[in-house]
Chains A and B, each alone.
Chain A
Amino acid sequence: MAALAEFRKASLRRELESIVGASAVLTDPDELLAYESDGLTMLRALADFVVFPTSAEHVSAVVRLANREGVPFVARGAGTGLSGGCLPAEGGIVVSLMRMNRVLEVDYENQIAVVEPGLVNLHLSWAVGRRGYYYAPDPSSQQACTVGGNIANNSGGPHTLKYGVTTNHVLGLEVVMPDGEIVWLGGRTRASAGYDLVGVFVGSEGTFGVATKIVVRILKKPQAVKTVLAVFDEIDQASAAVSAIIARGLVPAAVEMIDQLTIQAVEDAFDCGYPRDAAAALLVELDGLTVGMEAQAERIVQACRDSGAREVRTARDEAERQLLWKGRKSAFGAYGRISPAYMVMDGVIPRTKLPYVLRRVNDIVAAHGLRVGNVFHAGDGNLHPNILYDPRRAGEEARVLAAGAAIMRLCAEVGGSISGEHGIGLEKADFMPFIFSPDDLALMQRLKNAFNSSGLCNPGKIFPTSKSCAEVGPAAYRPHAIEEKGLAQRF
């Protein structure tokens, strides 16, 4: 999309201001820079406008204006996404939902909450926590990411093993359609008339419209929680323990695996109590009734011991439990201390393939001359290999991308998926043919046409381009102008 002529931009700015107010429109290039990428900073594009609506009517008016002008628009939450899903359309409008961040209503008896899309995920659990409730999907970025962003990505998190991902907790959505019409999909009850439009909207990565009100289920906090740490000298033993836990008929709330490189980074940074010399650790959490908790924990402990764990211990108190979880949830931050940059991969495999795939992942990355840290949702087979690299070294980023593509192929080969929770966005659009046939993609395109026929709503995402195989993957990183001037840096 060619940049708009200056005079047209100025007139569009005035119109946007008349909708959302002068203080809610950004056009200054320095300010727009903050919106040029999401958490995947390798990909970037500059919008012409960022607007901050405070109502569905605002969003609708902005979208109608964009349609009239033929300008693309992209909804954005906190920008913590990891696949370039809310990357602006060059020269388009970014619709930031961050000023629509209220909890509109909580109905405890019916266990539902109605929230705005810009509400931070964790703030919802805080809001209902005093009454003993919480919002179950807990992405690792939950201190920053928004419920609206979670809707777009169908976000997961550690506890989705037992409780399901975002889509399992959303009942209804008020949506501004790509043509500006405000429509309710679903509602507050468990069934609605017709096709499950909520089900297809969740996870559509912002290509079906902009959610402006969200009805979610809130859950009663469990009576008891128990967290077990199992330490292994070999990564294969940890993988085997995951299968052993499942074979014993247990569905823990979470089963997370952390490898040695990650443990060491976390311990350097936060001192969370993981043994630095372990090849891998499993963090297993049980929740539910107090009665039977000991018996279940004993089954977990036994499964880990039988798989060769050298040490299995239970968090003594809430403080120790929080510390262990801090280690898990701060892993990404810890990588930042040992490497100038890292690429977070996200793939899913059948759980039984875990030992084989982890070995292969480590081999693939090593063959590309790079290091990898693994910290992931082992219980549901959702891998997060994190490839460490230095973008200043010539050619290193290209090797990261090549290793990443090889890992995605591996996930596809063993019957898995190329994304468990981070989405396709722009990053993986060209990997879609790894798991979907042209007919599969064609039907998805038809579904998109039914929602977004103009294509102006978050263009360029999810669907593969027609690049040849040799070009697969996102474009290589190039330093941005302001980086070269020393005005900013990547983190």
Chain B
Amino acid sequence: MPDALLDGLRGLVGPANVLTGIELGPYVIEGRTPDAAVFPRSVAEVVGVLALATEAELPVVPWGGGTAAAVGLPAARAGIVLGLSRMTRLVEHEPGDLTATVEAGVTVAGLQSALRARGQWLSLDPPDAERATVGGVVAADASGPRRHLYGTPRDLLIGVTVVTAEGAVVRGGGKVVKNVAGYDLPKLFIGSYGTLGVVVEATVKLRPLPDAERLVCASFDRLKDAGDAVRALMSSDLVPNAVELLDGAAAAALGAGAGLGAALVVGFDGLDEQVVWQCDELARLVTSLGGRDPRALPPEAWARLAPAARAAVGQPVAVMSFALLPTQVTETMEQGANAARARGFHTAWAAHASVGVVSAAIAPEPARPEPAPLAAVLAEWREMAHAGGGRATLEWAPLAVKAQVPVWDDPGAAGRIMQRIKREFDPRNVLNPGRFVAGI
């Protein structure tokens, strides 16, 4: 990186907010060290950083809490990490409007605690909320168990301010909960992994905090029976806020007990009487379908649900996530585990079962240190997903594995539209080049 550029960045944000050399440790992705990490404090400074980087044609990696930094392929060239961690203002919160506008660098946990003090919350529970930032959650389309009832960022983000690669400050959407004026730009930035612009501010819909909430767990000897219970639950009158299905390994990591075939974990919120009645109904429903010992889990268990598969495997060599038809969840979990076992791997599986979103972690069996190629298992998993009309993403794996197994599904003909959007938004290909689908 040219010294002049480094001087320019230091002049812009202050020398203390430009990291280089050994300080870059936390920003190394897959062994690739960026040239510098820069931490602007204002939108104007973000504009300045992008202008300098674009002029030098250096890749820019927008960085929130870094919780999804390893998703996708790292830039082939080292570049500048653009950290948003100093942009943490709660810009606006009018409780009567049930909306809040925040700078992108505020953590989800930080936002929730500010909102909680006023009886409200952002109905989104992504993993690692202490580190995950609002901007990062938007860029990575992160969500958690409560998405069953409350949806994902696309259901909650109503406005966004981004800085484009060319340094324009652009607002999309607005600050009101219903809005069809112009194209829905916020949707475009959700899940775009920093390839179209740097999210610097977000406006979100809020909800009042429920009076009560409870998480209930039931044990099953067989995954299939737990899956049947999910179906029965979905066609019942109950209104859960989370429907999670875990295989035995993930259930153990959650703390639901060892040696189970599977665990079904269901959340309810609302008025006290509603929560109590639903927990009773659920207990009846699961026990009629082979479930045992329906019991309340402590509130801390919520945060352990989404990462349960990964935690169960300890040192996974890969994590794959799936978007499936809900009816195919249990079959995919069973077949996927069998396919891995046949090749000498052990796995753990956890699903947002009602919406068909599944996460699987894989590691070699300790007894078989040199298993068949991991790539073969992952490819087989992906084929299984595709066969049922689903999708698979290699959420995490070492670079060597990513070299053999594509991270992203091929988006087909839609990929060409995506490439055109990328060219229109980032003509010099500065933002996270090569990280995303279709070579974007």
Contact = CB atoms under 8 A, between A and B. Distances in A.
A362 interface: no
Nearest to B186: A199
A351 B208 contact: no
Given A199-B184, A424-B181, A424-B182, A249 B168 contact: no
B96 A243 contact: yes
Interface stretch (A45-53, A288-296, A312-320, A469-477): A288-296
A183 B96 contact: no
**Of A185, A194, A415, A448, most B-chain CB atoms within 10 Å:** A194
A482 interface: no
Contact of A203 (B184, B208, B271, B355): B184
Interface in B163-211: 164, 168-172, 174-185, 187-188, 190-192, 196, 207-211
A155 to B, nearest CB: 8
A193 interface: yes
A164 interface: yes
Contacts of B152: 190
Nearest to B424: A446
Contacts of B355: 190
A417 B155 contact: no
B151 interface: yes
B413 interface: yes
B327 A418 contact: no
A249 B277 contact: no
A109 B181 contact: no
B48 interface: no
Contacts of B175: 350, 415-416
Nearest to B354: A111
B369 interface: no
B434 interface: no
Given A189-B390, A289-B274, A443-B168, A251 B208 contact: yes
B382 to A, nearest CB: 11
A435 B174 contact: yes
Interface string A443-465: 11011111100000000001000
- Tell me the dominant secondary structure on chain A's binding face: loop
Contact of B418 (A188, A197, A203, A419): A197
B51 interface: no
A160 B178 contact: yes
B100 to A, nearest CB: 12
A382 B179 CA distance: 9
A268 to B, nearest CB: 30
A415 B177 CA distance: 11
Contacts of B424: 446-447, 449-450
Contacts of B323: 189-192
Contacts of B273: 291-292, 295
Given A199-B154, A350-B99, A439 B168 contact: yes
Contacts of B208: 246, 249-251
Nearest to A223: B237
Interface string A242-261: 01001101110000000000
Contacts, number: 257
B180 A194 contact: no
Interface string B327-371: 100000000000000000000000000011100000000000000
A62 interface: no
A101 to B, nearest CB: 24
**Contact size range, B:** 35 or more
B325 A349 contact: no
Contact of A417 (B119, B174, B231, B326): B174
Contacts of A185: 414, 417
A380 B421 CA distance: 32
Contacts of A418: 181
Given A154-B184, A194-B436, A295-B273, A416 B414 contact: no
B261 interface: no
B117 to A, nearest CB: 15
B94 interface: yes
**Of A184, A190, A349, A462, most B-chain CB atoms within 10 Å:** A190
B151 A191 contact: no
Contacts of A352: 94, 96-97
A436 B171 contact: yes
A437 interface: yes
Contact of A156 (B169, B178, B210): B178
A251 B207 contact: yes
Given A111-B234, A420-B178, A195 B413 contact: no
Contacts of B180: 153-154, 156, 165, 203, 417, 419-424
Nearest to A185: B414
B417 A451 contact: yes
B437 A200 contact: no
A308 interface: no
A399 interface: no
A9 interface: no
Contacts of A423: 180
B270 interface: yes
Contacts of A167: 154, 184, 187
Contacts of A420: 176, 178-180
Interface string B400-440: 00000000111111110110110111000000000011101
Contacts of A432: 181-182
B176 A348 contact: yes
A17 interface: no
A64 interface: no
Contacts of A435: 174, 181
**Of B178, B278, B389, B421, most A-chain CB atoms within 10 Å:** B178
A195 B197 CA distance: 13
A419 B181 contact: yes
A351 B96 contact: yes
A415 B172 CA distance: 13
B97 A292 contact: no
A264 interface: no
A183 B423 CA distance: 19
Given A184-B414, A188-B389, A191-B391, A417 B179 contact: yes
A255 to B, nearest CB: 12
A177 to B, nearest CB: 8
Interface of B: 94-99, 119, 141, 151-152, 154-155, 164, 168-172, 174-185, 187-188, 190-192, 196, 207-211, 231, 234-235, 237-239, 270-271, 273-274, 277-278, 323-327, 355-357, 389-391, 393, 408-415, 417-418, 420-421, 423-425, 436-438, 440
What are the 5 A-B residue pairs with the smallest beta carbon separation, nearest first? A199-B187, A249-B208, A191-B323, A446-B424, A193-B409
26 contacts: A110-B326, A110-B356, A154-B180, A165-B178, A168-B155, A184-B414, A188-B389, A193-B409, A199-B154, A200-B185, A200-B187, A200-B188, A204-B183, A204-B184, A247-B95, A289-B238, A291-B273, A292-B273, A348-B174, A351-B97, A380-B176, A415-B174, A416-B175, A428-B181, A432-B182, A450-B423
Interface of A: 107-111, 153-154, 156, 160, 164-165, 167-168, 177, 181, 183-185, 187-197, 199-200, 202-204, 220, 223, 243, 246-247, 249-251, 288-289, 291-292, 295-296, 348-352, 377, 380-382, 415-424, 428, 432, 435-437, 439-444, 446-451, 462
